[in-house]
Amino acid sequence: MTEVLTRGVTARVASWLGALALLLAAGTAAPADDREDLVAESWAAVAAFQKAEPKLRAFFDKAHAYAVFPSVTKIAYVYGLAGGEGVVFEGGGVTGFSTLKQVTMGFQAGVHHFREVIFFRDADALEDFKQGHFEFDAEASAAAGKAGVSEVLDFDKDVLVFVMTRGGLFFDASLGGQKFSFTDKEHGE
């Protein structure tokens, strides 16, 4: 009986992960209306980060640029997948759009909804991001409940990352990495 139940749960989780993988793989350029909504959601996420942690205002003001992912979802049961769309701001305006994709493996389970902001200290760090020479490795976290801001990484390759939990229940002690793609504003619409 236990074996049948375990197989059923494993099959259900595998189908969820498969569906999320298809969504992540479909990372095509969004229509202009969707991009406008994404920009509005990103500005709302910036306001939410600053409200939750007022000290972040200095990072938004002083960073050369930043990428905001207003809604990232991670689903995992041993294997995990996460994804989200974001906006890259430089000089106070939109410079492009980005897709976050993450694959992990390890002791992890649950669904986690979060926002993420990546601050770029200088033009070189932003250029690395734009060229796809940018990813994060390894993760160890626990998330439960509602909003909270946590610093995930210290400056590494001239970047600083903050995450704000939006909800869900998740435990994570996994290895994997976040990878990003970038589309210039002029070519993404």
Residue type, 40: A
Closest CA to 45 of 30, 26, 60: 60
pLDDT of residue 174: 65
Please give the pLDDT value at position 122. 93
CA dist 148 and 104 (Å) reads: 23
Could you give the angle at the alpha carbon of 85 between the alpha carbons of 179 and 58, nearest 5°? 85
The per-residue pLDDT for 109 is: 86
**Residue 98: which of 60, 64, 66, 59 has the closest Cα?**
66
Placement of tokens 């993404």 in the chain: 188
Residues in the chain: 189
How many CB atoms are located within 10 Å of the residue 43 CB? 15
* pLDDT for res 26: 41
| Chain segment 138-178, per-residue pLDDT in tens | 454 544 444 555 544 445 558 888 888 887 566 666 667 88
Looking at residue 152, its pLDDT comes to 45
Give the tokens for residue 79: 């294997």
Q: Report how far residue 45's alpha carbon sits from residue 185's, in angstroms, rounded to the nearest whole number.
A: 19
| 3-class state of residue 18 by DSSP | helix
Of the candidates 183, 173, 180, 189, the residue with the CA atom closest to the CA atom of residue 72: 180
- Alpha helices in 53-134, H assignment, sequence order: 56-62, 123-130
Low-confidence ranges of the chain (pLDDT < 50): 2, 4-6, 9, 12-13, 16-17, 19-29, 138, 140, 142-146, 151-154, 189
